[in-house]
Structure 1
């Protein structure tokens, strides 16, 4: 997620400075803190998008792992997508004042970046296969 954010910023002519990269890594990776820039109603829209993608992929929102512990796939993916949306929108989202602008921002993001959900699912699939093989 951070690598994609950095690449997008570089492509837009605004490369991520070393200090900014380290702060983002500390916050998102080590402390699991999400800087929320988007209005909370978008979290529900992100959850609905994840649920839709899981359904399209024939996946359930919850599974049980081999040791009997629950895997909340939908909730975990929603948290990941929410973090990515907030990271990528940053201060642009802070400037939003009208609900219609919020919906427009989400629609644009979901059209251009919703493939991220499938990338996360593919990565998870690969990890599951490696775990089953060992």
Structure 2
């Protein structure tokens, strides 16, 4: 609580067979990164006492009333670290889909797809092109 009163957000860096490291982040920086999108799939570099640590945000907690960050967990990234992340799916060319033009509806079952990949190869998003899709068509990822 004392950390939060000083305008900081408590966080912890763990993983890569090293002991957990408690840190405090600037509230404003972390707030905009969380609400800017892509936070949990973007590798960041955190400077701790002059040592640069590559991390991947794994979880964050928001205040249920104010919707502001209260705590963040980071996974320390090593050279061979593999991670499971949810990657967003973007749909393009809806206007070029004959099925949608004739009154069909795009039914999105999953807005994100789980990936298991090296931490340094996480895609920002997956793009699905709807050009030429007709009523009744399914796209499987």
TM over 0.5: no
- Output the TM-score relative to the length of structure 2: 0.21
Structure richer in helix, relative to its length:
1
Structure richer in strand, relative to its length:
2
Q: Which has the higher contact order (CA 8 A, sep 6+)?
A: 1
- Output the TM-score relative to the length of structure 1: 0.21
